[in-house]
């Protein structure tokens, strides 16, 4: 008996829970509300009229038309261009872009003075044009003084004798008594001389010519016969250089 009552109580609780769940689900579904049709109000009648917006018309209408003008601002208008605009193919005169600005003259025509550089003479020959731009002597006179310059002693030739062993200069003197033959210009020449206790072993050997055969022969004899190089030097080998 007790078991039967408990089973009934369980079924009652389950049925109550199911009914509550069904009620919650049904509450989610609602019927749509039907709105009453709105009353359509009659519109007021509108009228269209014409009015002049030029200088003789209504100023208020002219200002309103200006504010509501749909013309793009980048197009020419009375606010951005002259009313008497020229055609696109017409050329404007020079200076017309600054016609609205009054000229400001700093100098009068009588006071205008232009400083031009001095005239330059055109050279007669093309080669003279290179000398025209040649700079002068801007530092002439700086550090200069008048000094007496002694003239160099007159000489016909100069001889220098150097020992081959140690490179010491044995003789260096001017040959004022030398008189080379001919008028031709000659170059410095060199000889190799061997000396023993008895004097010059053999005639000086020419190692560098003066380009004049008569001059070479003259100084070869001059060393032994006039300068007496064998008696003035100790035994050894010497390089003899002779120049103008």
In this prediction, residue 1 carries a pLDDT of: 46
Q: In the chain, helix, strand, coil percent, each to 5?
A: 25, 15, 60
In this prediction, residue 190 carries a pLDDT of: 92
The reply to whether 153 falls in a domain is no
Q: Is 157 exposed, middle or buried, given 0-12, 13-18 or 19+ CB atoms closer than 10 A?
A: buried
The reply to whether 14 falls in a domain is no
Count how many domains the chain has.
Answer: 1
The reply to whether 233 falls in a domain is yes
The reply to whether 30 falls in a domain is no
CB of 186 closer than 8 Å to CB of 244: yes
The reply to whether 167 falls in a domain is yes
Is pTM beyond 0.75? Reply is: no
**Tens digit of pLDDT per residue, the chain (244 long)?**
445 666 777 777 777 877 888 887 777 776 666 666 665 555 555 667 777 776 676 778 878 877 787 777 777 666 666 655 555 665 666 666 666 667 767 766 666 667 778 887 788 888 777 776 666 676 766 777 777 888 877 777 888 999 888 888 888 888 888 888 877 788 888 999 888 888 888 888 888 888 888 888 888 888 888 888 888 888 889 998 888 8
Boundaries of domain holding 169: 158-243
Alpha-helix residue ranges (DSSP H) falling in 83-184: 128-132
The reply to whether 137 falls in a domain is no
The reply to whether 116 falls in a domain is no
CA gap 140, 57 in Å, rounded: 89
CA gap 31, 51 in Å, rounded: 58
């Amino acid at each position: 008996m007790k078991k039967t009552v408990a089973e009934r109580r369980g079924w009652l609780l389950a049925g109550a829970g199911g009914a509550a769940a069904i009620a919650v689900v049904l509450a989610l579904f609602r019927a749509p509300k039907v709105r009453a049709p709105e009353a359509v109000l009659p519109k007021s009648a509108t009228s269209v009229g014409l009015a002049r917006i030029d200088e003789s018309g209504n100023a208020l209408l002219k200002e309103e038309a200006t504010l509501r003008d749909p013309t793009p601002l980048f197009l020419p208008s009375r606010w951005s261009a002259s009313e008497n605009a020229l055609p696109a193919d017409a050329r404007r005169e020079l200076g017309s872009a600054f016609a609205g600005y009054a000229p400001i003259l700093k100098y009068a025509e009588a006071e205008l003075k232009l400083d031009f550089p001095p005239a330059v003479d055109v050279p007669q020959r093309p080669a003279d044009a290179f000398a025209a731009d040649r700079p002068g002597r801007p530092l002439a006179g700086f550090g200069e003084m008048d000094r007496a310059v002694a003239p160099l002693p007159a000489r016909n030739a100069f001889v220098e004798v150097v020992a081959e062993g140690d490179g010491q200069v044995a003789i260096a003197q001017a040959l004022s008594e030398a008189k080379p033959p001919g008028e031709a210009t000659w170059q410095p020449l060199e000889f190799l001389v061997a000396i023993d206790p008895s004097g010059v072993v053999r005639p000086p050997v020419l190692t560098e010519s003066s380009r004049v055969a008569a001059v070479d022969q003259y100084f070869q004899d001059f060393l032994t016969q006039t300068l007496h190089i064998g008696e003035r030097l100790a035994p050894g080998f010497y390089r003899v250089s002779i120049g103008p």
